[in-house]
Structure 1
């Protein structure tokens, strides 16, 4: 009986903490645009859903590479030569 009460209390605490968890502001597109305006920051943001049950580490690497590619595409360089 004592162990059941302890398990119940622990379960309630765990679920209450997850209920209080909030999404970070940068995950919302409009909040991210306000926090990091495009005229001041270079932002490469990629998101997706793991529909094929791929390994999380591999998927993270793929999305990081995609975000880096977005950043690289935003940078433009002009080169002038004086001859």
Structure 2
């Protein structure tokens, strides 16, 4: 996965066009960064707030992810 700041100009423009056509995608990068930070830092205590934030988005696929995490939260947060 490439950091968006390191994309070639052509790819940066293509990504901009895609995001303009689907505004719901604009929240995805931050959700992914926040989730990756929780994983890296083993900060499972932040998971409920992250899930609540994701559920506020109007994107059912992300809601499905949160529902699955919530169902298995004990296993997801076990060390």
Same-fold status (TM-score > 0.5):
no
TM-score by length of 1: 0.28
TM-score by length of 2: 0.28
Larger Rg: 1
Q: Could you say which structure has the higher helix fraction?
A: 2
